[in-house]
């Protein structure tokens, strides 16, 4: 029987995720059904469980009742974006349906790149130089003679050796950093050592880091794990980078440190998104802010599409999956 694949992705989203080669590969997998939606999200058919073998989702998939996934035919759902939680509750696992997080690997490298970019920008005072120089057009006011810091000389602390955390560790080590430590209760010392990373406790990490880069998922265990007590352990003028999830931090505690000028931060995620226009984070020279775009590169998006196709090909060939979401790892993939 020819596999039937339903693509619940809007036109704009689809064009960014699936290049011409990916679309050709998709066509070879079976019968493809993708409703044209110039604007808005795509609805998952209520008959998806009985009419299709594979469901592909992304950011532009309209939330649906997970009960529609139950049926005689549907056996695989592959998410083209990051976390599957918005669409697939943990109860959706099982009942012969397998779920894969197809887009995460491709995005992880892009997110790490942004985290490294923020780290370098803050170490070299780029935000301060640009804002002062642009507004004053004065060589002196722009900060001539002000010295930055070398990344190679920094003590780098990673909160989680997740996919992103591992890429970030590789990148900063490639830039010369040798003092790289991490807190991750799921990683072993041997695994960390293979990456040139030393494991330690969270409090010790904060107390010994010049740069604290947060790469942990949002789970019940990680909720507000970086709060006022942990931030207080950081040295004056330390840098905090968060391209992961705002829920991992106590955002008000971070804002307090930013207001005081004691710490510098690079943030891509916030507890309320979009970040309200009256947020006190705005307008501060010690805060580098981006609007949740860390994973957004052209190459990452197309990589996500190809990763989804790879997963479907593996599943249809021998039933294996590279990035399967299970009840055991569901909470750690937030």
Q: What is the pLDDT of residue 95?
A: 74
Q: Output Rg (C-alpha) for the chain, integer angstroms.
A: 22
Tell which residue, 321, 334, 329, 333, has the closest CA to residue 97.
321
Indicate if 4 belongs to the active site. no
Residue 94 has pLDDT above 80, yes or no: no
Q: What is the pLDDT of residue 333?
A: 75
Cα 236 to chain centroid distance, Å, stands at 28
Q: What is the pLDDT of residue 327?
A: 87
Cα 323 to Cα 334: distance, rounded to the nearest angstrom: 14
Catalytic residue, candidates 86, 273, 313, 322: 273
Residue 244 has pLDDT above 90, yes or no: yes
Beta strand 287-289 with 76-79 is unpaired
Indicate if 284 belongs to the active site. no
Q: What is the mean pLDDT of residues 279-306?
A: 97
Q: What is the pLDDT of residue 43?
A: 96
Residue 250 has pLDDT above 70, yes or no: yes
Catalytic residue, candidates 129, 262, 292, 332: 292
Cα 321 to Cα 308: distance, rounded to the nearest angstrom: 10
Q: What is the pLDDT of residue 93?
A: 87
Q: What is the mean pLDDT of residues 41-68?
A: 97
Are the CB atoms for 171 and 116 separated by under 8 Å? yes
Are the CB atoms for 26 and 54 separated by under 8 Å? no
Tell which residue, 146, 139, 180, has the closest CA to residue 161.
180
Tell which residue, 57, 104, 15, 24, has the closest CA to residue 304.
104
Q: Is 79 helix (H, G, I), strand (E, B) or coil?
A: strand
Indicate if 273 belongs to the active site. yes
Q: What is the pLDDT of residue 61?
A: 97
Cα 213 to Cα 265: distance, rounded to the nearest angstrom: 10
Banded pLDDT at 50 (limits 50, 70, 90): very high
pLDDT digits (tens, 9 = 90+) for 75-86: 999 999 988 989
Percentage above 70 pLDDT, the chain = 100
Are the CB atoms for 24 and 309 separated by under 8 Å? no
Q: What is the mean pLDDT of residues 115-138?
A: 97
Instruction: Name the more confident of 289 and 86.
Output: 289
Between 32-36, 76-80, 310-314, 326-330, the lowest mean confidence (pLDDT) is in: 326-330
Banded pLDDT at 334 (limits 50, 70, 90): low
Q: What is the pLDDT of residue 134?
A: 96
Residue with tokens 């003028």: 237
Catalytic residue, candidates 245, 247, 251, 301: 245
Tell which residue, 25, 35, 44, 31, has the closest CA to residue 4.
31
Q: How many CB atoms sit inside 10 A of residue 166's CB? A: 23
Helix ranges (DSSP H) in the chain:
11-17, 20-29, 48-51, 104-123, 126-136, 163-174, 189-194, 202-207, 228-233, 251-260, 298-318
Cα 218 to Cα 169: distance, rounded to the nearest angstrom: 20
Q: What is the mean pLDDT of residues 168-182?
A: 98
Q: What is the pLDDT of residue 331?
A: 79
Residue 30 has pLDDT above 70, yes or no: yes
Q: Which residues contact 5 (CB under 8 A, 6 or more apart)?
A: 26, 29, 30, 31, 32, 33, 52, 53, 54, 55, 56, 312
Banded pLDDT at 213 (limits 50, 70, 90): very high
The pTM assigned to this predicted structure is 0.93
Mean pLDDT estimate for the chain = 96
Q: What is the mean pLDDT of residues 202-212?
A: 98
């Amino acid at each position: 029987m020819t596999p039937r694949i339903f693509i619940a992705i809007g036109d704009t989203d689809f064009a960014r995720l699936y290049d011409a080669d990916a679309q050709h590969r998709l066509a070879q997998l079976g019968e493809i059904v993708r409703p044209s939606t110039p604007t808005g999200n795509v609805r998952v058919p209520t008959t998806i469980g009985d009419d299709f073998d594979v469901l592909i989702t992304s950011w532009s998939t309209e939330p649906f009742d997970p009960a529609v996934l139950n049926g005689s035919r549907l056996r695989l759902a592959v998410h083209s974006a990051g976390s599957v939680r918005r669409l697939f509750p943990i109860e959706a696992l099982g009942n012969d349906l397998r779920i894969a997080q197809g887009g995460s690997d491709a995005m992880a490298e892009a997110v790490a790149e942004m985290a490294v970019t923020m780290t370098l920008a803050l170490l070299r005072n780029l935000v301060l130089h640009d804002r002062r120089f642009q507004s004053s057009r004065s060589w002196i006011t722009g900060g001539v003679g002000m010295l930055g810091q070398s990344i190679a000389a920094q003590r780098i602390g990673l909160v989680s050796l997740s996919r992103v955390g591992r890429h970030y560790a590789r990148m900063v080590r490639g830039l010369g950093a040798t003092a790289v430590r991490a807190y991750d209760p799921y990683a072993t010392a041997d695994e960390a050592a293979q990456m040139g990373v030393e494991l330690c406790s969270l409090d010790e990490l904060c107390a010994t880091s010049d740069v604290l880069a947060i790469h942990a998922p949002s789970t019940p265990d990680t909720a507000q794990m970086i709060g006022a007590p942990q931030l207080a352990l950081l040295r004056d003028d330390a840098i905090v980078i968060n391209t992961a999830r705002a829920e991992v931090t106590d955002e008000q505690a971070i804002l307090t440190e930013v207001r005081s000028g004691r710490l510098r931060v690079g943030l891509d995620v916030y507890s309320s998104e979009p970040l309200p226009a009256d947020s006190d984070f705005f307008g501060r020279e010690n805060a580098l802010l981006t609007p949740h775009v860390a994973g957004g590169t052209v190459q990452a998006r197309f990589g996500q599409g190809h990763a989804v196709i790879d997963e479907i090909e593996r599943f249809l060939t021998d039933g294996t999956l590279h990035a399967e979401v299970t009840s055991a790892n569901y909470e750690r993939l937030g």
